[in-house]
Amino acid sequence: MTATTRFAPSPTGTLHVGNVRTALHNWLLAKQAGGRFLLRIDDTDGERSREEYVDSIKADLTWLGLHWDGEERQSARFDLYETEFQKLVSAGRVYRAYETAQELELKRKVLLGRGLPPIYDRAALALSEADHAAKEAAGEKPHWRFLLDREQAIEWHDGIRGPQHFDPAKMSDPVVRRADGSWLYLLPSVIDDIAMGVTDVLRGEDHVSNTASQIQMFEALGAAPPHFSHEALLTGTEGKLSKRLGSLGVSALRDAGIEPEALVALLARLGTSDPVDPALDAAALAASFNLAHFGRAPARFDEAELHRVNAAVVHRLPFERVAHLLPDGMDEAAWNAIRPNLEHIGEAADWWQVVTGPVTAPKLSPEDATYAAEAAATLDHVGADWPALTGALKEATGRKGKTLFLPLRQALTGRDHGPDMVALLPLIGAEAARERLAAASR
């Protein structure tokens, strides 16, 4: 069977780093196996789902290079859900219940007070058809629960967590459909995974208990469950779940100058024992993706590390990749000269202004001012050739090291540090360089 994974966001908001990590890992898992990566828009919540969020999700995935091989919308699949639901009704695997949230909470507190597991007592199973008819006549509408087989232990080998065992006798029958007929997450997801041929479900460890219930739903619908893997959730640098991670959207990172390659490089390895390697492209990351490398410890997301990775990525980006993002007139030679000093591509404009001018040099000492004048005169003979310029000045003045180089850099760029002057001086040009040195000498 072709390996098939899926990413199933709800379009009730934009993607944040946790969502992106899930999408990326599913994409890598599929590509590593030569399989398919599907996008399923879980838009069953008609009140909160927004089309602009669908567009945003797709735009973010495209920006990251996570192209999907097929797409489904849950809102277009209600007929399928109804058909499969009726099969479960006929098989006696779903049943009607009427308790309100307040009644269920009271039952829960009573059970806890007795030292018992706070699971649903299945009282609704004792209702007769006459009881149901009476409730319907009184205007009460039922919600529907999936009837767990409490005689059959739920077990699977998790791709990250290893052997898993749940006792269904200690689990509540999950609600799968509300009284208004709308669907909760569990059952439609199972129906979709079967219909879409999903072979591998990789998601956060907060879904482990959902998986236990869903495995029986797969079996009740006559399908083999996919291979499940649950990865540790992201935490912030403070070592606990961070509210900021829940709101740190892709658009905010993009606005902060983060490149998609950097986000992919960091998130691909986050939670694994593998080092983050900014030099690896998506294909190389997919080839090395291995669930066995994931640990159970929380995966820490550090924005400072992301910016460091971003700098390393920017230093490797070819001109063709960034040309449309650079200031007018900035060519490949200028990009190659400037990029080692950048953390974000947007900073290129500042360095290009150093090339094009004007620049304001710091006030030089009388000795350095005289030295700048001599350098201006020397340019008439050597041109915009930094090694030739500094070689001639070293021989003429006896200067070396910092006293040789720093006054020249200050006069030419207005800064104490920056791109290699071997590459920068030709970009400035001999005439502009002579004017800057002459101005600094006054």
Encode pLDDT of 293-351 as tens digits. Answer: 999 988 889 999 999 999 999 999 999 999 999 999 999 999 999 999 999 999 999 99
Main-chain phi, psi angles of 239, to 5 degrees = 85, 10
User: What's the pTM value of the predicted model, to 2 decimals?
Assistant: 0.90
Query: Do residues 194 and 221 make contact, with C-beta atoms less than 8 angstroms apart?
Result: yes
pLDDT value at residue 331: 95
pLDDT value at residue 273: 84
Query: 157, 186, 152, 183: which is closest to 169 by C-alpha?
Result: 152
- 187-213 tens-digit pLDDT: 999 999 999 999 999 999 999 999 999
Residue 164 β-bridge partners? 156
Contacts of 253 (CB under 8 A, 6+ apart): 17, 263, 306
**Coarse DSSP helix, strand, coil percentages of the chain, rounded to the nearest 5 percent:** 55, 10, 35
User: What token pair was written down for 389?
Assistant: 């310029």
Mean pLDDT of 353-367: 94
Mean pLDDT of 354-374: 95
Q: How confident is the model at residue 242 (pLDDT cuts 50, 70, 90)?
A: low
Mean pLDDT of 125-143: 97
Query: 192, 197, 156, 190: which is closest to 176 by C-alpha?
Result: 190
What is the C-alpha separation between 323 and 334, in angstroms, rounded? 11
pLDDT value at residue 47: 87
- Counted residue by residue, the chain has a size of 442
Q: Which alpha helices (DSSP H) does 290-342 contain, by range?
A: 303-314, 319-322, 332-338
**What percentage of residues in the chain have a pLDDT greater than 70?**
98
* Residue 70, SS3 per DSSP: strand
Contacts of 260 (CB under 8 A, 6+ apart): 63, 64, 65
Letter for the amino acid at 105?
Answer: E
What is the C-alpha separation between 258 and 345, in angstroms, rounded? 9
pLDDT value at residue 239: 59
- 277-300 tens-digit pLDDT: 999 988 899 999 999 999 998 888
- 15-67 tens-digit pLDDT: 999 999 999 999 999 999 999 999 999 999 888 999 999 999 999 999 999 99
pLDDT value at residue 249: 86
Query: Do residues 270 and 21 make contact, with C-beta atoms less than 8 angstroms apart?
Result: yes
* Residue 311, SS3 per DSSP: helix
Enumerate domains of the chain plus CATH numbers: 4-71+189-234 (3.40.50.620), 80-177 (3.90.800.10), 319-355 (no CATH), 357-440 (1.10.10.350)
Contacts of 66 (CB under 8 A, 6+ apart): 7, 23, 24, 27, 37
Query: 203, 265, 211: which is closest to 229 by C-alpha?
Result: 203
Q: Is the pLDDT of residue 173 over 60?
A: yes
pLDDT value at residue 234: 87
Q: Is the pLDDT of residue 131 over 60?
A: yes
User: What token pair was written down for 346?
Assistant: 């947007």
| Residue 299 backbone zone (phi > 0: left; psi -120 to 50: alpha; other: beta) | beta
What is the C-alpha separation between 184 and 81, in angstroms, rounded? 11
Query: Do residues 306 and 266 make contact, with C-beta atoms less than 8 angstroms apart?
Result: yes
Query: Do residues 425 and 389 make contact, with C-beta atoms less than 8 angstroms apart?
Result: yes
- 228-239 tens-digit pLDDT: 999 998 888 765
